[in-house]
Amino acid sequence: MKPWKPGASRVALTYFFRDLGSLELAISHVMPQISGRSRIRVWDAGCAMGQEPFTLAMLLAEALGPRMFGNVEIIASDYDKSVIEVLDAAVYADEELQRVPELYFKRYLEASGSEGTHRVAEPIRKAVRSVHHDLLSFTPVCDRLSLIVCKNVLLHFNQAERIKVFKVFHDALEPQGLLVTEHTQKLPAEAGHLFSQVTPQCQLFCKTEVGASIQVPNESTGERRNA
Ligand SMILES: C[S@@+](CC[C@H](N)C(=O)[O-])C[C@H]1O[C@@H](n2cnc3c(N)ncnc32)[C@H](O)[C@@H]1O
């Protein structure tokens, strides 16, 4: 299939190694929890055309080393079905890959057989499973997750939807599991008891073990009810 090019889809643009600082912080905080595990689950919710989950996979491969990285599963989900085909092919135009640092390019990208493009290397592709999933179904893709990355997605939702999605993330994480969102995405007060912020440097949250009920405002009446 043809590599994805900017403008070729209705899905909003993103790029490889976007907001590297937040991803690196999330990985450094999750490392003590996942080191030595035989199964490590990560969810990238709203993954667009794969740049973020593949970036995450490359960073985890470097942090964990090849043997431990074999235990990683990154579930990359989006409500746009076309994402699945693009992630499974994992072929990107070279101009899309300009932000990939040289070390990562050499280790984790390979010739695709088609001029002007490269393919994400097999160990990275193998770790990323693409899934069609609507966050507004308020169901998780799986449970016992160590890390959830959900960046530049929640801004599209109203406050009641955001609160409910934070609750889904809370329930899907293992104890002490981590959630990272974009810088502009503050934790809604109604979900404040579900997470504690790990560092002021980015929106990185740790699941708390307190009671998990939430109060959701009714968007039209402003009334609050338990969910
Ligand atoms: C701006 S992109 C963010 C990509 C990546 N997370 C990043 O930060 O670079 C937003 C993505 O969220 C997806 N999205 C929007 N609403 C969604 C929903 N209800 N469920 C799942 N994905 C959704 C869009 O299809 C799009 O791929």
Q: Which of 13-17, 26-30, 62-66, 178-182 has the lowest mean pLDDT?
A: 13-17
- Determine the distance separating the centroid of ligand 1 and the alpha carbon of 48, expressed in angstroms: 5
Q: Of all atoms in ligand 1, which is nearest to the CA of residue 15?
A: 9
Q: Of all atoms in ligand 1, which is nearest to the CA of residue 150?
A: 6
The pLDDT of residue 210: 74
Question: Is the pLDDT at 212 greater than 80, yes or no?
Answer: no
Ligand 1 site residues (CB inside 6 A) read: 11-12, 14, 18, 46-48, 52, 78-80, 134-136, 151-153, 156
Mean pLDDT of all residues in 37-44: 97
Residue among 20, 43, 79, 154 to mutate when testing ligand 1 (max atoms within 8 A of CB): 79
The pLDDT of residue 224: 65
- pTM, entire model: 0.91
Residue among 153, 155, 184 to mutate when testing ligand 1 (max atoms within 8 A of CB): 153
- Determine the distance separating the centroid of ligand 1 and the alpha carbon of 47, expressed in angstroms: 6
Q: Tell me the per-residue pLDDT of 148-165, one tens digit each, with 9 for 90 and over.
A: 999 999 999 999 999 999
Domains and CATH numbers, the chain: 20-226 (3.40.50.150)
Cα–Cα dist 44/57, whole Å: 10
Amino acid at 154: L
Cα–Cα dist 120/109, whole Å: 5
Question: Is the pLDDT at 7 greater than 70, yes or no?
Answer: no
- Determine the distance separating the centroid of ligand 1 and the alpha carbon of 112, expressed in angstroms: 26
114-139 in b/e form (b: 16+ CB < 10 A) is eeebbbbbebbbebbbbbebebeeee
Question: Is the pLDDT at 5 greater than 60, yes or no?
Answer: no
Question: Is the pLDDT at 128 greater than 90, yes or no?
Answer: yes
- Closest C-alpha among 63, 180, 77, 74 to residue 124: 74
**194 and 210 Cβ atoms separated by less than 8 Å:** yes
The pLDDT of residue 12: 44
Residue among 47, 77, 78, 158 to mutate when testing ligand 1 (max atoms within 8 A of CB): 78
Q: Cα dist. 45→32, 77, 102, 200, 225 in Å?
A: 23, 5, 27, 22, 26
Cα–Cα dist 123/120, whole Å: 9
- Determine the distance separating the centroid of ligand 1 and the alpha carbon of 153, expressed in angstroms: 5
Q: Rounded to 5 degrees, what are φ and ψ at 157?
A: -105, 160
Instruction: Calculate the CA dihedral of residues 156, 16, 43, 81 and round it to 10 degrees.
Output: 60
What proportion of the chain, given as a percentage, has pLDDT over 70?
Answer: 89
Cα–Cα dist 124/91, whole Å: 12
**4 and 96 Cβ atoms separated by less than 8 Å:** yes
Mean pLDDT of all residues in 115-121: 97
Question: Is the pLDDT at 143 greater than 70, yes or no?
Answer: yes
User: What tokens does 210 get?
Assistant: 């307190």
Question: Is the pLDDT at 24 greater than 60, yes or no?
Answer: yes
Cα–Cα dist 152/12, whole Å: 10
The pLDDT of residue 42: 98
Question: Is the pLDDT at 11 greater than 60, yes or no?
Answer: no
